[in-house]
Amino acid sequence: MPAGEFALQHEVQALYSNHHGWLHAWLRKKLGCTHNAADLAHDTFVRVLSKTEPVAAAEPRAYLATIAHGLVVDFHRRRALERAYLDTLAALPEPQLPSLEVRAIVLEALVAIDTMLDGMKPPVRQAFILSQLDGLTYAEIASRLGVTVRTVNNYMLKALEHCYLLAP
């Protein structure tokens, strides 16, 4: 194991030992559930481990709370999306309900799409949605957004580049 990798592992181990209990309690207070708090505390340290630069933060709790806060936001967004999907399913007649496997696949796809769209700037996202979901032409999008067709073209290039970079 290279020295830099060993030092990083040691820093993370110390960060975990000294602050995991505090982070779990902080998340439990935010989420109201010890199990979800444990999952997000774990995910926080997975994010820390995935970083390639040293983690020696001057304020380790603020550092961990910043990472964990982003995970809490993602958690709530995912839950809201899941509730909306389940509400839509509840409105369907019984024979049209998809299987549990299909529901899981659709929900996973919805979360992935939401994550992808969330990473776009609002006008880029709006142009992309108008194009891909509403089927509007670039000229129609430009008219609706009050921009030029060239700007819409630039928005779409940014959106497609964003999607390409997120593709597996």
pLDDT band per the 50, 70, 90 thresholds, residue 33:
very high
Cα 23 from Cα 41, distance rounded (Å): 6
Task: Work out the average pLDDT over 10-35.
Answer: 91
* Together in a domain, 71 and 134: no
* Together in a domain, 77 and 108: no
Q: How many CB atoms lie within 10 A of CB 162?
A: 17
* Together in a domain, 72 and 25: yes
Higher pLDDT pick, 33 / 88: 33
pLDDT of residue 5: 62
* Together in a domain, 14 and 82: yes
Higher pLDDT pick, 50 / 73: 73
* Together in a domain, 130 and 150: yes
pLDDT per position as a tens digit, 96-140:
888 889 888 988 888 888 888 888 899 999 999 999 888 999 999
* Together in a domain, 129 and 158: yes
User: What dihedral angle (degrees, nearest 10) is formed by the CA atoms of 46, 74, 122, 134?
Assistant: 120
Residue 144 has pLDDT above 90, yes or no: yes
* The most confident of 29-33, 89-93, 116-120, by mean pLDDT: 29-33
* Together in a domain, 73 and 9: yes
Residue 26 has pLDDT above 60, yes or no: yes
* Together in a domain, 78 and 111: no
- Residue among 163, 162, 124, 119 nearest 145 (CA): 124
Domain residue limits at 104: 100-166
Residue where one domain finishes, among candidates 91, 113, 141: 91
pLDDT band per the 50, 70, 90 thresholds, residue 56:
low
Dump the DSSP string for 90-130: HTS-GGGPPPHHHHHHHHHHHHHHHHHHHTS-HHHHHHHHH
* Together in a domain, 76 and 111: no
Residue where one domain finishes, among candidates 91, 114, 131: 91
Cα 133 from Cα 46, distance rounded (Å): 35
Cα 148 from Cα 76, distance rounded (Å): 36
- What is the CATH classification number for the domain harbouring 125? 1.10.10.10
* Together in a domain, 9 and 75: yes
* Together in a domain, 17 and 51: yes
Q: Are 13 and 48 in contact (CB under 8 A)?
A: no
pTM over 0.85: no
Residue 39 has pLDDT above 80, yes or no: yes
* Together in a domain, 112 and 63: no
